[in-house]
Structure 1
């Protein structure tokens, strides 16, 4: 990688980023595959980080990134008439997904709970602490907190703990299967 390959986003001068689609080794395989087929991929960057900084609070502190510019992705499930319904909820990091009320109603289930981490990791092909809405299994709903669309750049997982994606907030609505939800984060 040469210095010319790097891109520094004005919103986060502490992060030197690279075009994500050109650096698939910094991504989980499903994320790299999804970017290869997504029109918005040309605007997505990746930044390599110390895996110990993968958790949102540690990353925000280390790189002086406001929590409002970070998105957390949680995977939830519920069942109705024997049919399991799964959704990934992407919320601004200074909020929590309204799983027990809003998401439960959107999935039309009696009870909604977090997918066990082992299962989420196995089914997404992503690492614990790196799950992202980019490259999720087909058929999963992707609920996106509307507030993230207002951010110039959103920091998301890359599928692995050793890097992060930098995505213009406005294109999160264009993710395959994305549903923008106003009050998803509380």
Structure 2
């Protein structure tokens, strides 16, 4: 099988690679019921040492930086309560944490979630966090610019490997809210 973008030695339907994925991501693929067929979600093997977006794009082919989306875990606080949320933004954009994210969460203050907490609560590795398999009570904010994209490169839950997914799959994930201007 060949990937629709990039140059990868190994490309497989993600649902056939469950043993290569962290448990929350594998469970999300097993339970997949979105409008995008699960067969359209692909897994590409990659060097975990080259997982950072810019290095990954340079290593695996032109156009991958523009086709990449990052999953950023944020913490919104109001009073004594903290709400964790995940935000999907183009890799070439900055997440509008203090504007769009804070307003949507109804928080007084929003910031990037502490690394150890994001890793512990998602069951995923830093540098590989993905929106598939997030805790069920988390909001998932998706930048509207991602939704029409035919193929996005996103994390797989670990630093080894990436998922290639249509943008429409992100919008259909549990808890997803599509927002204009999330990535400034």
Q: TM-score, normalised by structure 1?
A: 0.92
The Cα offsets for residues 139-179 of structure 1, whole Å up to 9 and x where unpaired, read as: 10000111111221100000011110010112211111111
Contact 1:11 1:152 in 2 (8 A): no
Match of 2:83 in 1: 85
Match of 1:62 in 2: 59
Gaps (5+ residues) in structure 1? Answer: 1-6
Match of 1:52 in 2: 49
Q: How does 1:126-165 map to 2 (within 5 A)?
A: 126-165=124-163
Give 4+ residue runs of structure 1 displaced > 6 Å after superposition: none
Given the alignment of the two structures, is residue 37 of structure 1 paired with residue 3 of structure 2, yes or no? no
Gaps (5+ residues) in structure 2? Answer: none
The Cα offsets for residues 73-92 of structure 1, whole Å up to 9 and x where unpaired, read as: 11001222322211100100
Larger helix proportion, structure 1 or 2?
A: 1
State the superposition RMSD in angstroms: 1.2
Distance 2:43 2:141 in 1: 22
Q: TM-score, normalised by structure 2?
A: 0.93
19-28 or 78-87, which deviates more = 78-87
